């Protein structure tokens, strides 16, 4: 269940299921029962439940839930913002058969649970007027809310707040989650998200053409590079990380440590002569090699066993860095571009993109934070973080990792993933340098770009969780063995 369906894709999955012989009212019945089950887990038996219904099928799910909860002995009231506008919702309203109060002026009068069945993931406008007042009052009152599909006011495609949005304790969605369940700020409104099977088949989902996924191990676990009996370090790839000058060497060492800890067989730090001594003083398992500019990097990468290179952390902005990037792109190695390797092309991004497109079969991953992204791609006219990352991947020809609490990985072919496991304390100096190294280490071990970037982002987030509040970037590589242990528990490494 790792696909994330846009509202349009979800509607198509519904349509295909109905055409295949499952009536819409049956799907609605199953959805409403699932909502009633969620309420019954949270509310005391016989408790008071207020159900707020909109005019569409989301409201229909609410009427079903109201009827089922009443049958189970709960004290249920229903308020609506108008009559139902779909046949299935009208049928559910008739089967409810009880009074329906107007939503206008409705205020929570002490219910144990409020069911939000006003608007689902397909909301296409801002909520205003009396509906907005009711939602604001509910948020202010701090009522326990179970949202149907997605909290009213959250755009299921973008995660944006449309005017105002409810904050739910729990959200019950159907068949698959939507991008808005994972993208911010929507994710912060959903509470616990439960995904319920209502009879829409995997085949119907596949026929929607969904290309966005939750970044979770199921997406890339089968391609993880596990050690095997008879293997050796030369079979696990060799990462080259390019160091900056004498006053900015730490970032590259963080990246190198991330690459080594994630499993690369060998890691070499390519260092300018001026920084050799300071780098040598800090390195043990990571090798060190002198590098004299772009020509020096080319000589290092001429050994094809050095099959991945990471540039950018602490490298410096300017022509020398642009030359290093050009040399890396021409080398035949997989390339990870971060930080200064991106900012150096802010005045002429097309120069970078053209260099990437010269080698279309070469894995290239860019790992910008929002500031670096803006410097390289400008406004990137799209209405969501997901849209911006996909647009950037298409423009550049590279895999784009747009970092943040809801990191998006996007590919030029339209595939994308959204991560939701990064803890807030991961936002600390040097954290992104470690991530760049982790991705390089996975690329060196043969993972394709989309899966390497996704796995790297997820493992980076889990390392942050394992290290805990107060972590510094140096802690992240050292937490990776615990992440690997969790990923491989129950799997025989052979």
Evaluate whether residue 26 is within a structural domain: yes
pTM: 0.95
Question: Could you give the CA distance from residue 271 to residue 255 in angstroms, rounded to a whole number?
Answer: 13
- Residue-wise pLDDT tens for the chain (494 aa)? 589 999 999 999 999 999 999 999 999 999 999 999 999 999 999 999 999 999 999 999 999 999 999 999 999 999 998 999 999 999 999 999 999 999 987 887 789 999 999 999 999 899 999 999 999 999 999 889 999 999 999 999 999 999 999 999 999 999 999 999 999 999 999 999 999 999 999 999 999 999 999 999 999 999 999 988 878 888 899 999 999 999 999 999 999 999 999 999 999 999 999 999 999 999 999 999 999 999 999 999 999 999 999 999 999 999 999 999 999 999 999 999 999 999 999 999 999 999 999 988 899 999 999 999 999 998 767 889 999 999 999 999 999 999 999 999 999 999 999 999 999 999 999 999 999 999 999 999 999 999 999 999 999 999 999 999 999 999 999 999 999 999 998 554 43
Nearest CA to 186 out of 200, 207, 203, 165 is that of 165
Residue 433 and residue 320 in one domain: yes
Q: Which residues pair with 111 in a beta bridge?
A: none
> For the domain that residue 187 is a member of, what is the CATH number?
3.40.50.10260
Check: CB of residue 440 under 8 Å from CB of residue 308.
yes
Instruction: Report how far Cα 422 is from the mean position of its chain's Cα atoms.
Output: 9
Residue 179 and residue 150 in one domain: yes
Residue 482 and residue 434 in one domain: yes
What's the confidence (pLDDT) of residue 181? Answer: 98
Among 163, 185, 210, give the residue marking a domain's end. 210
Question: Could you give the CA distance from residue 251 to residue 166 in angstroms, rounded to a whole number?
Answer: 41
Return the SS3 of 190: helix
Nearest CA to 305 out of 397, 225, 232, 250 is that of 232
What's the confidence (pLDDT) of residue 128? Answer: 95
Residue 197 and residue 235 in one domain: no
Evaluate whether residue 493 is within a structural domain: no
The helix or strand, by DSSP H or E, that contains position 76, with its residue range, turns out to be strand 75-80
Check: CB of residue 168 under 8 Å from CB of residue 151.
yes
**Tokens of residue 149, six digits:** 């599909």
Among 195, 210, 225, give the residue marking a domain's end. 210
Q: Quote the domain boundaries for residue 404.
A: 217-488
The helix or strand, by DSSP H or E, that contains position 259, with its residue range, turns out to be helix 250-261
What's the confidence (pLDDT) of residue 492? Answer: 40
Among 210, 234, 255, give the residue marking a domain's end. 210
Return the SS3 of 377: helix
Residue 185 and residue 269 in one domain: no
Number of separate domains in the chain: 2
């Amino acid at each position: 269940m790792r696909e994330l369906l846009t509202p349009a894709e979800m509607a198509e999955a519904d349509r295909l299921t109905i055409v295949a012989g499952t009536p819409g009212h049956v799907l609605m019945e199953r959805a409403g029962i699932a909502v009633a089950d969620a309420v019954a887990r949270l509310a005391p038996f016989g408790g008071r439940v207020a159900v707020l219904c909109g005019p569409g099928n989301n409201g229909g799910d609410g009427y079903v839930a109201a009827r089922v909860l009443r049958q189970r002995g709960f004290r249920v009231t229903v308020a609506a913002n108008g009559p139902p506008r779909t046949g299935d919702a009208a049928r559910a309203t008739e089967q409810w058969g009880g009074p329906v109060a107007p939503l206008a002026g409705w205020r929570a009068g002490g219910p144990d649970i409020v069911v939000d069945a006003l608007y689902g993931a397909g909301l296409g406008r801002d909520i205003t007027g009396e509906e907005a007042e009711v939602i604001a009052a509910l948020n202010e009152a701090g009522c326990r809310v179970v949202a149907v599909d997605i909290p009213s006011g959250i755009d299921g495609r973008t995660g944006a707040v449309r005017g105002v949005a409810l904050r739910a304790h729990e959200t019950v969605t159907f068949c698959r989650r939507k991008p808005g369940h994972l993208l911010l700020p929507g994710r912060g409104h959903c509470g616990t998200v439960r995904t319920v099977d209502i009879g829409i088949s995997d085949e119907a989902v596949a026929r929607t053409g969904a290309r966005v996924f939750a970044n979770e191990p199921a997406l890339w676990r089968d391609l993880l590079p596990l050690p095997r009996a008879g293997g050796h370090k030369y079979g696990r790839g060799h990462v080259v990380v390019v160091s900056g000058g004498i006053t900015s060497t730490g970032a590259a060492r963080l990246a190198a440590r991330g690459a080594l800890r994630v499993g690369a067989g060998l890691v070499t730090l390519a260092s300018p002569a001026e920084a050799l001594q300071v780098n040598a003083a800090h390195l043990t398992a990571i090798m060190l090699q002198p590098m004299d500019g772009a020509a020096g990097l080319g000589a290092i990468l001429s050994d094809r066993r050095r099959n991945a290179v990471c540039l950018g952390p602490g490298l410096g902005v300017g022509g020398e860095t642009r030359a290093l990037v050009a040399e890396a792109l021409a080398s035949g190695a997989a390339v990870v571009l971060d930080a200064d390797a991106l900012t150096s092309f802010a005045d002429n991004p097309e120069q970078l993109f053209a260099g990437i497109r010269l080698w279309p079969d070469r894995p290239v991953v860019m790992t910008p934070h929002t500031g670096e992204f803006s410097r390289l791609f400008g406004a990137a006219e799209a209405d969501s973080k997901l849209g911006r990352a996909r647009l950037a991947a298409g423009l550049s020809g590279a895999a784009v990792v747009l970092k943040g609490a809801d990191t998006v990985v996007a590919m030029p072919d339209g595939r994308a993933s959204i991560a939701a496991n990064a803890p807030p304390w991961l936002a600390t100096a040097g954290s992104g340098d470690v991530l760049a190294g982790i991705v390089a280490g996975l690329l060196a071990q043969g993972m394709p770009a989309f899966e390497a970037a996704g796995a790297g982002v997820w493992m980076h987030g889990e390392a942050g969780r394992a290290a805990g509040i107060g972590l510094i970037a140096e802690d992240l590589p050292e937490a990776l063995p615990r992440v690997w242990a969790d990923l491989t528990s129950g799997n025989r490494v052979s």
